[in-house]
Structure 1
Amino acid sequence: MDLRDRLAEVRRRPHLYGLTTFGEVAAFVTGMDAATEWRFLEEFREWLAFRSDLGANLAWQVLVIRIAYPGEANDFWVAASHAESGEAVTVLFDELNSFLRDRETRSAE
């Protein structure tokens, strides 16, 4: 099973993997990145920053929360990362899917 298939499986059944919060899903994705010697999410933060126009100095987790919940206070991401933030989890999987598809398209050119 490749990484995109694993992500699709986790998205379908996050509770099977013991994932209930955005923070847990983000940690799982970071683990996938670590398992690939930090290549899986390479340039993901920059890609999110460019698409969202939120700033390249933010961690990708913060960018995802801010995309999911625009207009919230700056410290909202801390609370959202520990809560069952379904919208943030959805945005994370959507953005990761778009990012990986875009990266595959660029590498195929």
Structure 2
Amino acid sequence: MDYVETFRMARDRPRMLGLDGSFVAAAAFVNGCDAGNSWRLLDGFGEWLAAGLGDGANLSWQALVVRHSLPGGSPNSPAELVLGEQENSVVVARLFELLEEFWDVRQKRGLAEIFAQYTKVFG
């Protein structure tokens, strides 16, 4: 399955996939795709996000996406992932941008390079 194309469809036409356009629904959809691939689809995603921020090694990829999306966004618990309408649309768009960037990096440099960068940042 072409997940890059699937995630583009989720971004551009969420209702076609039964999504309501919220970050919670988009993140659950992405997580479901990961689960359907024995939790291997997103290998390195959280590490890549954390290394890009230089912080957040202890956070979920969902919280890291919020940090990448919103200035000063620093959720530390699921309750803090409740977003306003404007914040929500920014974070959903950024989620799918980050996934595309990650796929590109993962394909060109490989997981070993992603984990090496993570180790370099977090020791």
- TM > 0.5: yes
Code of the aligned partner of 2:108: T
Matches within 5 A, 1:9-88: 9-19=9-19, 20-72=21-73, 74=75, 77-80=80-83, 84=85, 85-88=88-91
Contact 1:66 1:77 in 2 (8 A): no
Contact 1:11 1:93 in 2 (8 A): yes
Q: Distance in 1 between matches of 2:57 and 2:13?
A: 31
Report what 2:108 is aligned to: 105
Question: In the comparison of the two structures, how many residue pairs are matched?
Answer: 105
Deviation at 1:18, TM superposition (A): 2.4
Code of the aligned partner of 1:60: W
Question: Taking structure 1 as reference, are residues 90 and 5 closer, same or farther at Cα in structure 2, changes over 3 Å only?
Answer: same
Question: Taking structure 1 as reference, are residues 72 and 37 closer, same or farther at Cα in structure 2, changes over 3 Å only?
Answer: closer
Contact 2:65 2:94 in 1 (8 A): yes
Report what 2:93 is aligned to: 90
Code of the aligned partner of 1:9: M
Q: CA RMSD in A?
A: 1.8
Question: Taking structure 1 as reference, are residues 74 and 62 closer, same or farther at Cα in structure 2, changes over 3 Å only?
Answer: closer
Question: Taking structure 1 as reference, are residues 104 and 59 closer, same or farther at Cα in structure 2, changes over 3 Å only?
Answer: same
Q: Mean alpha-carbon deviation: is it higher for 50-59 or for 95-104? A: 50-59
Q: Normalising by structure 2, what TM-score?
A: 0.76
Q: Mean alpha-carbon deviation: is it higher for 90-99 or for 69-78? A: 69-78
Q: Normalising by structure 1, what TM-score?
A: 0.85
Q: Which runs of no fewer than 5 residues in structure 1 stay unpaired?
A: none
Percentage of identical aligned residues? 40
Q: Distance in 2 between matches of 1:74 and 1:22?
A: 14
Code of the aligned partner of 2:51: F
Query: What SS is found at the alignment partner of 1:57?
Result: coil
Deviation at 1:71, TM superposition (A): 1.3
Report what 2:3 is aligned to: 3
